[in-house]
Structure 1
Amino acid sequence: MTTETVGQALVTRLKSRGVDCVFGIPGVHTVELYRGLADSGIRHVTPRHEQGAGFMADGYARACGRPGVAFVITGPGLTNTLTAMAQARADSVPMLVVSGVNASATLGLQHGHLHELPDQHALARTVALTSQHVARPAELDDALTAAFAPFAIGRPGPTHVQIPLDVAGAAADAGATTAESCTPPPPDPELIARAASQLAQADRVVILAGGGAKNASAELRALAEHLDAPVVQTVNARGLMHGHALSVPASPSLKAVRALIEDADCVLALGTELGPTDYDMYATGQKAAMRNLIRIDICPHQLARHPAALTIPGQAQAAAAALRSALPAQPRETGGATRAETTRAAAFEEIGPAYRRQVEVLNAMRDAVPDALMVGDSTQPIYAGNLYYDHDRPGGWFNAATGYGALGYGIPAAIGAAIAAPDSPVICITGDGGAQFSLPEVMAAVDENLPVTFVIWNNRGYGEIASAMEEVEVPVVGCDPTPPDFAATARSFGIAHVRVPQEPEAIATALTRARALNAPSFLEIDIPATAPGQE
């Protein structure tokens, strides 16, 4: 009878917890983790860089809600993944990174072993919600339990488990192969009653919905309609109220949206950290004043970071449903739809003509390919959409242009999303500069035959940064890296390529044709260097 190793037991335990895909690049320090992978039924996807593995795990998790998992080697494998882990931490994305580490007897000695770090465990703890070191085979199950716990009952984010080389190949202890089920506790009924009373007495309620509410679309709509309250959606909440009269799919950093919030006599913040990349992206040092603020968040620590009239720890979906039930039976009529309509019009005008043109492109893309996952990098149409854009699918608009703001996110994250949601169209929107951070990852889409359309906004440089430098009269330096010939690059990848101007109708037509290919492809949007708003 063959004895199961710790590496094989790890794979078994991951599968029992619902893991069906692992992103990773095998190396001599993770060989033992791969021993049981081939026969496990878990899909393995090979990125071209460990940062790509992390971003793929992030996109996977955002698309399906389950944690994305990455296997990386000791030392450079982990350090390459830290950027992706930090992005996941900023956006509360569930991700598990499993890494090797040098043999137990060598740790901390700094003798110069291959891939050695002074203290890899300590380094991981600076970014991960929890980092577990498996010192003995018997510790594997406890380490996995600790790593998966934040995904079920708290604010999610990246977690880390490291297994020394000698432990990974050692005989595993017999342990539980199924995970204990964990569910978050329901919100406190007394706090819900107090919040309902406060909301019922208000005349101009405004709801702020964040990424923590993206699974509460139906409950949020019912609550908003009952209160007749406009709903302002942060970047990660777009799609929750698509096309609704009470929807304000615009950044709370805009003056028009701030005015709406400050006019409210009660503000309900649901699943939003009130962070500056959403609420003060222009770095003014101020956010909209929020009278009688009620905050609901899954994380008690998050609730303690901003003063509020009332805080309620709890899951957004359950809390919104409980609030609706606790309110008086008669719906309110407070002119909410008019307030929302006025704010939408003012916000769209406020973003300026260049960004309005880009939002029109986004609208055309959305209408050409309904119910798509639009995954973005830090590029001008994404900045425009983050300021104002109404997506048609909850959780279907996400990017790295807020929070941690890692460039190079879009391509690998879109690949992860396509694997998690194979029946959904996936559109990646990246600039020519950001694409060059992770362009080789497109070959992973080719390997996996993923029909992702990679939309490349080619303004031949870092256009947004150049504009920012010009605004403060700093000489523009370093913002014009020469892009590759994307048509030739596409040929080398063996995928289709089409180039179109920045015209909504042409882009929509090209996108529809690209989708019909059912294969990865490039759609390059050619932006002349002297185009208005692009100087």
Structure 2
Amino acid sequence: MADVVGATLARLGADHVFGVVGSGNFHVTNALVAHGVRFVATRHEGGAATAADAYTRVSGRPALVSVHQGCGLTNAMTGIAEAAKSRTPMIVLAAEPAASALRSNFRVDQDALAHAVGASSARVHGPDTAVAETAAAWQLAVSDRRTVILNLPLDVQAMPATLTDPEPLPVPVPLSAPAASTQALTRLLTEAQRPIFIAGRGALHARAEIEDLAEACGALLATSAVAKGLFVGNPWNLDVSGGFATPLAAELITASDLVVAWGASLTMWTTRHGALINPAATVVQVDLEPSAIGAHHRADLGVVGDTAACATAVLAALGGATSAGQRSDRVRARLSTAARWRDVPFTDDGDATHIDPRTLTVALDDLLPAERVIGVDSGNFMGYPSMFLSVPDHHGFCFTQAFQSIGLGLATALGAALARPGRLPVAACGDGGFLMGIAELETIRRLGIGMLIVVYNDDAYGAEVHHFGPAGHALDTVVFPETDLAAVARGHGCQAVTVRTPADLEPVATWLAGPRDVPLLVDAKIAAGRPSWWLEEAFRGH
């Protein structure tokens, strides 16, 4: 029956499966490969789940994860939790001990594991239902944007089954918002003097519709961090709202009298713990999920529906009425010179042995080709690659931060690289996260991916240093001796360079010139005397 599950998923459209093969998932993985699905063998199940998550986000196509029963699934749980919290449509094929194997050392409550991290749990119960249950799991993942763990009991896998075509999946129809809601939003837009739109992951398909409406009502445009790049090229683009926002973006968002969130959750990170949104401003949330409205920030009006459909309906309701809003010549001029963090003046903190992370990232931004895809790990450093490196569009940035786990950066960049093979993949990691996820360095090298891996190396868990250090706490548990990460990378067969000053980046330019047939790791010894700007802001919010 394992071959029927694999063939069904291939027929439904699966094209990549990430995983570590053990005895429990050997046959289903081979069945997938036999039916044309590419298998990416990672070195850890956690890396497999994160890479699949990133692949799905960047490509827009659901990926699969294949794991052994019990320990294979538990190894993958952090990546699964990140995907589930991000509503990534992904299926985890998890082998499972037979129902009769009550004493199996692999037995854990796999349903409970799924539910504990917000994933959905499904199961194939027998050969007669294998196709239908597999298709149902796929539909749940795709239609409801769920991360689904599909349990495959070993005894059921071994049963003979007949492959049939799965029932055609229903064609999704965009959910139109109720007329009363769109009328209310239309009225608010006609009354607003300084509107701003903040788009999130739920609006990635709706750029044109949101921009057209913003043009009509004079709204400025911003995104949540996960949607960075959505409005690249628009002269009224403020880039990311929240802790990553530039001083100019923060000023303009706070000055707004109407904030419309399009598929954005308005978490504490997007709103700076609520402080970025003026208390007197009216807040509107447009989202497919009723439970998302008001979950993190007050919403004076909730509009349940597809973001593109809603924007189109509101634009039609405006009936040609237009407003300049905040779109003045003065604002346009200011955005042309101060919309990017790299354009904000700063005092360089570098010296002969440590490079300022801003100086480093600006120099890299100048060196790298425009067609790039960036995966960012978590930590004190992460604002620098997120905001000082430009991206060509929202497909160029992958931000696996819903669970705030460090160690996901390499696997994130791996999945993103496979989703956008024509772009230069960049992994941005702290030294702690890089070492935590280092198993996938071998995967990247083995696959021949010409990835630039930038390690912001402060020989510490920087967030904890800057959080607890000012209060006088001992930091021995979060500070480490200097590590030669360049040597570690060379041991994996990669090229590597240690960077302490801007002049040390010359080998990066040489590598970029080609052929880029092996990864290049930049071990950047960064000046770490102060926390990053976004971390200071986050700490003030607690």
Deviates more, 1:355-364 or 1:410-419: 355-364
- Is 1:328 the equivalent of 2:319? yes
Partners of 1:151 and 1:341 in 2: CA distance: 44
**Cα deviation, residue 58, structure 1:** 1.2
**Cα deviation, residue 238, structure 1:** 1.1
> What is aligned with 2:304?
313
Partners of 1:244 and 1:393 in 2: CA distance: 11
- The 1:346–1:452 alpha-carbon spacing in structure 2 relative to 1, beyond 3 Å, is closer
SS in 1 for 2:394: coil
> What is aligned with 1:263?
255
**Cα deviation, residue 268, structure 1:** 0.9
> What is aligned with 2:436?
437
Partners of 1:376 and 1:193 in 2: CA distance: 40
- Is 1:395 the equivalent of 2:395? yes
> What is aligned with 1:171?
160
Give the counterpart of 1:159 among 148, 151, 156. 148
- Is 1:183 the equivalent of 2:182? no
- Is 1:421 the equivalent of 2:413? no
Partners of 1:289 and 1:210 in 2: CA distance: 21
Partners of 1:359 and 1:438 in 2: CA distance: 24
Partners of 1:491 and 1:388 in 2: CA distance: 27
Gaps of 5+ in 2: 351-355, 533-542
Q: TM-score, normalised by structure 1?
A: 0.87
SS in 2 for 1:467: helix
**Cα deviation, residue 179, structure 1:** 4.3
User: Retained in 1: the 8 A contact 2:361–2:384?
Assistant: no
Q: TM-score, normalised by structure 2?
A: 0.86
- The 1:395–1:297 alpha-carbon spacing in structure 2 relative to 1, beyond 3 Å, is farther
- The 1:474–1:139 alpha-carbon spacing in structure 2 relative to 1, beyond 3 Å, is farther
Partners of 1:515 and 1:95 in 2: CA distance: 36
Deviates more, 1:449-458 or 1:522-531: 522-531
Partners of 2:358 and 2:460 in 1: CA distance: 20
**Cα deviation, residue 286, structure 1:** 8.9
User: Retained in 2: the 8 A contact 1:230–1:339?
Assistant: no
Partners of 2:257 and 2:526 in 1: CA distance: 47
Amino acid across the alignment from 1:393: D
Partners of 2:505 and 2:225 in 1: CA distance: 23
> What is aligned with 1:205?
195
- Is 1:23 the equivalent of 2:18? yes
Partners of 1:145 and 1:416 in 2: CA distance: 24
SS in 2 for 1:98: strand
- The 1:13–1:431 alpha-carbon spacing in structure 2 relative to 1, beyond 3 Å, is same
SS in 2 for 1:105: coil
SS in 2 for 1:138: coil
- The 1:506–1:290 alpha-carbon spacing in structure 2 relative to 1, beyond 3 Å, is farther
How is 1:10-409 mapped onto 2 (pairs within 5 angstroms)?
Answer: 10-106=5-101, 109=102, 111=103, 113-117=104-108, 119-154=109-144, 156-177=145-166, 179-188=168-177, 190=179, 191-253=181-243, 257=249, 260-280=252-272, 288-289=278-279, 291-303=281-293, 305=295, 307-337=298-328, 338-339=330-331, 345=338, 358-359=357-358, 361-367=360-366, 368-386=368-386, 391-400=391-400, 402-409=401-408
User: Retained in 1: the 8 A contact 2:124–2:134?
Assistant: no
Q: What is the percentage of aligned positions where both structures have the same residue? A: 24
Gaps of 5+ in 1: 1-5
Partners of 1:285 and 1:477 in 2: CA distance: 34
- The 1:213–1:9 alpha-carbon spacing in structure 2 relative to 1, beyond 3 Å, is same
- The 1:30–1:525 alpha-carbon spacing in structure 2 relative to 1, beyond 3 Å, is closer
Partners of 2:253 and 2:192 in 1: CA distance: 13
**Cα deviation, residue 285, structure 1:** 8.8
Amino acid across the alignment from 1:165: L
Partners of 2:114 and 2:414 in 1: CA distance: 25
> What is aligned with 2:539?
none
SS in 1 for 2:299: coil
**Cα deviation, residue 293, structure 1:** 2.0
**Cα deviation, residue 30, structure 1:** 1.5
Partners of 1:137 and 1:515 in 2: CA distance: 54
Deviates more, 1:265-274 or 1:508-517: 508-517
Q: CA RMSD in A?
A: 3.1
Amino acid across the alignment from 1:176: D
SS in 2 for 1:103: coil
- The 1:395–1:493 alpha-carbon spacing in structure 2 relative to 1, beyond 3 Å, is same
- The 1:185–1:37 alpha-carbon spacing in structure 2 relative to 1, beyond 3 Å, is closer
Partners of 2:349 and 2:87 in 1: CA distance: 28
- The 1:285–1:476 alpha-carbon spacing in structure 2 relative to 1, beyond 3 Å, is farther
Partners of 1:363 and 1:215 in 2: CA distance: 30
Partners of 1:219 and 1:511 in 2: CA distance: 39
Partners of 1:393 and 1:366 in 2: CA distance: 15
- The 1:341–1:186 alpha-carbon spacing in structure 2 relative to 1, beyond 3 Å, is farther
Partners of 1:194 and 1:63 in 2: CA distance: 34
**Cα deviation, residue 69, structure 1:** 0.9
Count of residues paired in the alignment: 519
Q: Deviations over 1:86-131 (max 9, x none)?
A: 111222322211100101223xx4x2x13121x2222212224321
- The 1:313–1:25 alpha-carbon spacing in structure 2 relative to 1, beyond 3 Å, is same
User: Retained in 1: the 8 A contact 2:459–2:483?
Assistant: no
**Cα deviation, residue 355, structure 1:** 10
User: Retained in 1: the 8 A contact 2:141–2:147?
Assistant: no
Partners of 2:345 and 2:116 in 1: CA distance: 37
